[in-house]
Amino acid sequence: MSAPIAPIEYTRVREIRGPLLVVADVEGVGWDEVGEIRLGSGEVRHGVVIEVERDLAVVEVLEGTGGIGAAGVRVAFSGSPMRIPVGEGWLGRICNGRGEPLDGGPPILSERTQAIAGEPINPASRAAPSEAVLTGVSAIDGLATLVRGQKLPIFSVGGLPHLDLAAQIAAQARAAEEPFAVVFAAIGITHADAAEVGAALAARGATGDLVVLLNTADDPLVERIVTPQIALTIAEDLAFECERHVLVVMADLTSWCEALREVAAGRGEIPSRRGYPGHLYSDLASLLERAGRIKGRPGSITQVPVLTMPAGDINHPVPDTVGYITEGQLVLSPELHAAGIYPPLDALGSLSRLMRLGAGPGRTREDHLELAAQIYALAAEARRASELAEVLGEDALSSSERTRLEFAAAMNAELLAQGRDEDRTLEETLERGWRIVSRLPRAELTMLSTAALDAHYAGVGGERGRGGGAMTVRTGVER
C-alpha cells in the first residue's frame, strides 16, 4: 500500500462493532477510501471506508478490531480508494494478503500504481477468448480445455485434493512459447496447505514468473477481502502492460465469500440466501469478470478459482453464484477420490464452455474436439449402463453396455489418472484418448469423422455391433 497518507488524523471513535469502526468528525473522506489506524500501542492497522454520512465514516478494519478501544486510536485517510504499486517487480515474490513481503525482501515499489477495485473492461473492447492454456493435466487439456481469457473454477469438497490440482495447474500451465506468469492467491488456507502449495510451486518460483499472495486461515478474516483484488490488479498489469499471458489461481473463494458475509452482517444488511448478502453475485462478478483479453493487446488473464462446496452441495449460494458467472466448471468427485484416482475429475459434471474457441482445428489438433465429444458421449452411455446395472443387475446388460462400462474404467485409469507432478503433452493426452476409444468397434464411434478415424483409430475395426448403430444403444434420457 503506497498511497500517500494525508496528515490529518481523526481520534473520535464513535462505535466499534464486528470488523467496523465508526469515526466521527471527519471531513472530506470519500467512500471506498483506505485508512490507517494507529493504536495506542503503536500498532498500525488498515481499513476501507464502506459508508460515509456527513462527518461520520464507517471503516472496515482489515486486520479486525480485536484490541481496539475507543480511546487512543488515531485514524488517517489516504484520500483515495486503495492502490498498489504494479509492475514486474512482483514476479518472484511471496507476500501476505495485503501485498506486504513475507519472503524477507524489500517492499515492492514501482512508479506505477493502480486502484485495486479495477476498472471494468469495456465490453466493446474485449476480444473473445481464444487459444489454449495447456496445464499438462489430461483431464483438463483433453476434455475441458482451458482457454486464454477464460474463468474456469474448480468445485470441490473438503478433503479432496483440489489444492494439489490447483498447485499442479499453477506449476505446469503454459501458453505455447509466449511470455507467461502465474499469480497464486491463497485465501484463508491453512499453514500446512500453504506449505504444500509452496513446495509444489518451488520449481516455477525459481523461474521468476510466479507471484504468491498468502492469506492464511489465521490471518484476519476481513483482510482476505482485498487479497484477490490485489492479485488481479497485479495480474492486469502483467497481462495488459507487460504483455504476458497470466494465470490467476485463487483458493479458496468460499473463504472470501464468508468474509463478505461477515462484513455484511456487521453492517446489519438484509441477508439473502443462507445469510449471504444480496450483492454476492455482483461482488463475485467484479473479481471473475477481470478475466479476459483486450483487442489489440497481446496478453490475457485466465482465472482458475478454487472453491469448496459446503457439505458438497452444488446448490449452495457460493458455487451456484460462481457457476452463473464462470464459463464452465471442473467438478471433483469424492467417489473417484475414494477409488484412488487423481485428479478425481468428474468428466460429465465438468465443462469448459469456451473449449471450441481454444481447441480443435487451427488451435490444438484437428481431431481434438471430436475426440472429446466422443469420449463424453461414451462416458454418458457408461453412466446410464452403470445405473441400469444397479437396478437390474449386470447380467441384464447387453454386450454393448458392458463395453461401455469397460470403457469408463479405462478412461479413469488411462486418461484421467496421472501423477501430481506428471506433466503430459497434449499429444500424449490425445493419444491416450485414442487408445481408450479404440477399445470400441470403429462403427460405434459415430462422433468421429472418417478422416480422424483413419489417422488415429488403433482398434480392431471390426463390424461388431453393426445392425443398430446409434439406436441399439440406450439413449433414453433418464428422468
Partner 1 sequence: MGVTGATRDGAGAGGERSADTVAGMTVEPGGPTVVRVSGPVIELDGMGDAHILDLVEVGHEHLIGEVISLRGERAVVQAHEYTGGLAPGAPAWLGSGPLTAELGPGLIGGVFDGMLRRLSVMGERLVPGARAPTLDPERRWRFTPRVSPGDHVSAGAVLGTVPESEAIEARILAPPDVAGKLEWVAAAGDYTTAEPVARVGGRELRLAHPWPLRAPRPGGMRIGASLPLSTGQRALDLLFPVARGSTAAVPGGFGTGKTVLLQQIAKWCDADVIVYVSCGERGNELADLLEEISALQDPRTGRSLLDRTVMIANTSNMPLMARELSVYAGATVAELYRDMGYDALVIADSTSRWAEALRELASRTGELPAEEGFPASLAPALASFYERSGRVQTLAGGVGSVTILGAVSPPGGDMAEPVTAHTGRFVRTMWSLDRDLAYARHYPAVSWTASSSRDVAPVAQWHSEQGDAEWAKRRGRAVALLADADRVQAVAELVGVASLPDPERIVLLTGRLLREAVLQQSALSENDARCGPGKQAALLAMVLDLHDRALELVGRGVPAARIEELDLSDAARARERVGPDDAAGVEAIADELLARLGALG
Beta carbon nearer to partner 1, 66 or 123: 123
Q: Under 8 Å CB-to-CB from 125, ≥6 apart: which residues?
A: 294, 295
Beta carbon nearer to partner 1, 76 or 380: 380
Beta carbon nearer to partner 1, 116 or 169: 116
Beta carbon nearer to partner 1, 203 or 324: 324
Rg of the chain over CA atoms, in angstroms? 25
Residue pair 58/30 in contact (Cβ under 8 Å)? The answer is: no
Dihedral pair phi/psi, residue 352, rounded to 5°: -110, 105
Beta carbon nearer to partner 1, 191 or 466: 466
For residue 35, give the 3-state DSSP assignment. strand
Beta carbon nearer to partner 1, 197 or 284: 284
How, if at all, do strands 210-216 and 180-189 pair?
A: parallel
Residue pair 153/320 in contact (Cβ under 8 Å)? The answer is: no
**Residue 208 cell numbers, joined:** 521468476
DSSP conformational letter for 286: H
In angstroms, give the least distance from the CB of 14 to partner 1.
Answer: 15
In angstroms, give the least distance from the CB of 41 to partner 1.
Answer: 30
Reported as type and span, the H/E element at residue 246 is: strand 245-251
**Residue 186 cell numbers, joined:** 491463497
In angstroms, give the least distance from the CB of 387 to partner 1.
Answer: 9
Residue type, 476: G
**Residue 185 cell numbers, joined:** 492467491
In angstroms, give the least distance from the CB of 187 to partner 1.
Answer: 19
Beta carbon nearer to partner 1, 201 or 452: 452
Closest residue by Cα to residue 34 from 156, 117, 90, 155: 117
The region, left, alpha or beta by phi > 0 then psi within -120 to 50, assigned to residue 207 is alpha
Angle, vertex CA 230, rays to CA 227 and CA 234, nearest 5: 140
